[in-house]
A = this chain, B = another copy of it.
Amino acid sequence: MTPDTRLSWTDVRDQVRARILNRTYAPGDRLPRDEDIATELGCARTTVHRAMQDLALAGLVERKRKGGTHVRADPVTRATFDIPITRREVEDRGAKYNYQLISRAMDQTPRAVMARFGLQTPAQMLRVRALHLADNRPYILEDRWVDTTSTPEILKVDLAQQSANEWLVRNKPYSRVDVRFSAITAEGVTAEYLAAPLGSALFVIERTTWIGADPITTVQSVAAPGYQLVAQS
């Protein structure tokens, strides 16, 4: 069905990638111009262009105007992670999702939160702590701060019924997000809520979102022991 001699941009991409993998084009090498590759493979320059863009996005080559296209000498491993709302994450694992509000109160932002938002002076924000459960076992403990200046509506939401996670993601689109991963030791109430042995290692995801220049929320999500995050594709 495919017109025999018609190359799609994915075909071109795969061809060029294969050549990089088999060292026809070695790391650091400059590739032929898009146009020459086009002539060689018998397609239009636009098609080669699209293919090259994709390879550049994947981190395999680097392109510069006039400078041409080069195979990256120090290829980086580029991994993309999808972090869905916690309910979905739990349900996608085939587990029953439950949610439990721990506390909800206005409070002054501590240093760590100010740092995340890039604030110079402390501010009053809504602090929400909650526990997400999978099959009635602790799954993720979240400690969240919501800026009530940018998001006053959160004050009217019944957070005992609906998690701030879910409400925010559905009702408060953001324009910028900062994600960071780390590990902490299970201690005190954190260990207690997660039913984790004292001293066990816990995986932590921190997310901070803004709309334009205005802070929306920052969360520290601590996962129960054994949690693993796997890259897409």
Contact = CB atoms under 8 A, between A and B. Distances in A.
Given A78-B81, A83-B79, A84-B76, A203 B183 contact: yes
Q: What's the interface size class on A, roughly?
A: 35 or more
9 contacts: A17-B175, A27-B170, A74-B169, A75-B169, A75-B173, A78-B81, A180-B230, A181-B181, A183-B201
A185 interface: yes
- Copies of the polypeptide in the assembly: 2
Contacts of A77: 82-84, 177, 179, 207
Interface of A: 17, 20-21, 27, 59, 73-85, 88, 169-170, 173, 175, 177-185, 199-204, 207, 211, 227-231
A132 to B, nearest CB: 15
Contacts of A199: 185, 199
Nearest to A170: B27
Contacts of A173: 20-21, 75
